Structure 1
Amino acid sequence: MEIYQLRTFVTVAQQGHLTQAAEVLHLSQPAVTAQIKAIEEEVGMPLFERTAGGVVLTLAGQELLPQAQDILAAARQLLNHARGLKGQLSGKVQLGITLTPDILRVGELVVRIAERYPLLEVCLHQGVTGDVLNAVRKKELDGGFYLGKNPYANVHTVLLDHLPLRIVAPPGWLARINAANPKELGRLPWVGISQFSSLSKIVSELWRELNISPKKVSECDNLFTAIELVKAGVGLSLIREQDALLAEARGQLEVVPDIVKSAELQFVFSADKAADPVLSVLVSELSAVWQLV
């Protein structure tokens, strides 16, 4: 039995679906199916049951999964130890960034890494939160920043901060309604948020909490475009509190009082990379930059 076959077995078990496992492994579905079949033939028993929604582990599969995970962890530990024997960390680390570099403290992070690990090059890739998380899950990025709750079991997170968000409206709009009644906010148009942005889920969650279902006008995929659309009079939106209060002080928009929505700002990385020396460096430096306990 080969290490790559065990990796396929564990990934299929985690994803519960052959197609999704193939996507994570960067293999075709027939290749994944063939590897699972080869393992089952070698152990002499089925490890998965096929269902309409995907696959689930048999009792034998459930029994073997922890050992397979331990073997893969040991193999990663061996590889990481071998890399460490070469001396100083070197190479490139691919990071996905969302929001803006100042909010994420990216400048301070890169400076710290450059000073302490001069052979380690940090490559930054700007993207929408959902795309960054998906790229991390597929291991196309070593890590990234994500706003919201992480839905994947095979992606680890480090909580950096809770960002307060506020509902904002174009100047003069709040005079048209009783802003003290949250349902009144559902009568006004809102700036739509792309489904590829985690902000979309946060806005939907807020709407459920307020028990409103407003009309969406236009669509964007980041907080800063949303601010400009609100200033232009398109509709209401949910933006970062610091930006909202600053724009209100300049008379560019109005902040809805007494409603604050908190969103988790997290650093995400693949669970398979948890013991990687480069990830250990990133998490350590991020902890210093964000002053995490």
Structure 2
Amino acid sequence: MEIYQLRTFVAVAQQGHLTQAAELLHLSQPAVTAQIKALEEELGSSLFERYPGGVQLTEAGKILLPEAENILASSRGMLQRARGLVGELKGKVRIGTIGVPSRLKLGPWLALLRSRHPLISVQTQHAISGVVLNEVRKKGLDGGFYLGRNPYQNVNNMVLSEIGFCIAMPPEWAAQAEDGEWRTLGQMPWLGVSQFNSLATITQELWREKNISPRKVGEFDEEATLVELIRAGLGMAILAERTARRFAADGSIALWRAGEVVTSAPLQFIYSADREEEPMLALLRDGLREVWAVDDSDGRG
């Protein structure tokens, strides 16, 4: 069964006459007759009854006509869709992710990209900020998320949001720190953070600002690990405000000064500076701009 046969079937049904259908389809009447006969043989049913003034649908023809019309409509839709894809950007993009996907609005962003650019395939690679930054610089990643200040001129950045941080500690330590003094915190054990994690830089800057030098307990590279170790009573650390408040709500951790935001850092999308004008990077930024409702006109650095 061919599309052209169904088109002829529908035309004859609508015109009620072989000659008129042939004129509409720019075919000869014998060609129309041959197509209808071939279709009837394949379907095993007679579609039309002939009479001197023309043709009319049989009961089988009446049942099958809507099916034929639906198939033709689907084929037209497919053709239009295919034509619409001509010139569409296509290819694979590699994106570095950090932390919690919901914090990055990863789902809404990728869903938007998929709806607008269906020929683009996205591959994500989860890591810590320093690794993402290095992979973007080496072009192992097309772009990625980064928490902290961008230190490189050859990496452009689009600031998405400012993330606030609170100091979290085991609940049993809260009484020791209730005087609210930084010098008291400086005498308590802190969880060290891997140098490739942006939290390491943020923590070190905070310590310098407050003139404290706490004893570090190990070095760890993920916020989820820090939460687990705080809950286990191993040490204290800064956590993103949203994370800190979520775990403090069930009493598994305590927040210093009732969850005061002690510092902040920008959450950014980063990419190689020499790819600024590439269409693929432009559409990634366009999607982020819409999902985050930000203006990155001054965000290059």
**Distance in 1 (alpha carbons) for counterparts of 2:253 and 2:222:** 18
Counterpart of 2:267 in structure 1 is 265
**TM superposition score normalised by structure 2:** 0.67
Shift of 1:177: 3.4
Structure 1 portions without partners, runs of 5+: 1-85
For the pair shown, the structure with the greater C-alpha radius of gyration is 2
Q: Is the 8 A contact 1:178 1:184 kept in 2?
A: no
**Counterpart in 1 of 2:111?**
111
**Distance across 2 between alignment mates of 1:256 and 1:247:** 13
Q: After the TM superposition, list the runs of 4 or more consecutive aligned residues in structure 1 that deviate by more than 6 angstroms.
A: none
Specify the SS of the correspondent of 2:171.
coil
Q: Residues 259, 106 of structure 1: CA spacing in aligned structure 2 closer, same or farther, 3 A cutoff?
A: closer
Is the 2:89–2:280 contact (alpha carbons within 8 Å) kept by the matching residues of 1?
yes
TM-score, normalised with respect to structure 1: 0.69
- Match of 2:216, as an amino acid? K
Which residue matches 2:141?
141
> Is 1:292 paired with 2:266?
no
AA in 2 matched with 1:205: E
Is the 8 Å Cα contact of residues 136 and 268 (structure 1) preserved in structure 2?
yes
Q: CA deviation at 1:275?
A: 0.3
Residues of 2 paired with 1:96 and 1:175: CA distance? 40
User: Which residue number corresponds to residue 283 of structure 2?
Assistant: 281
Q: Which residue of 2 aligns with 1:208?
A: 208
Name 2:198's counterpart in structure 1. Answer: 198
Once the two structures are TM-superposed, the CA of residue 194 in structure 1 deviates from its matched residue by: 0.3
Give the 3-state SS of the residue equivalent to 2:175 in structure 1: helix
Report SS of the residue matched to 2:174: helix
Mapped partners of 1:115, 1:259: distance in 2: 37
- The AA in structure 2 aligned to 1:224 is A
Number of the residue aligned with 1:183? 183
Give the distance between the partners of 2:178 and 2:239, measured in 1 at CA.
21
Cross-structure match for 1:239? 239
1:88 corresponds in structure 2 to: 88
Counterpart mapping for 1:30-179 below 5 A: 87-179=87-179
The 2-side partners of 1:219 and 1:139 are apart by 28
Q: Secondary structure at the match of 2:121?
A: strand
Letter in 1 for 2:269: F
- Are 1:226 and 2:229 matched, yes or no? no
Alpha-carbon displacement from aligned partner over 1:40-85 (angstroms, at most 9, x marks no partner): xxxxxxxxxxxxxxxxxxxxxxxxxxxxxxxxxxxxxxxxxxxxxx
Structure 2: state its 5+ residue gaps. 1-85, 296-301
Local SS of the residue matching 2:99: coil
For 1:151, give the aligned amino acid.
P
Matched residues, number: 208
The one-letter code of the counterpart of 1:147 is L
- State the identity %: 43
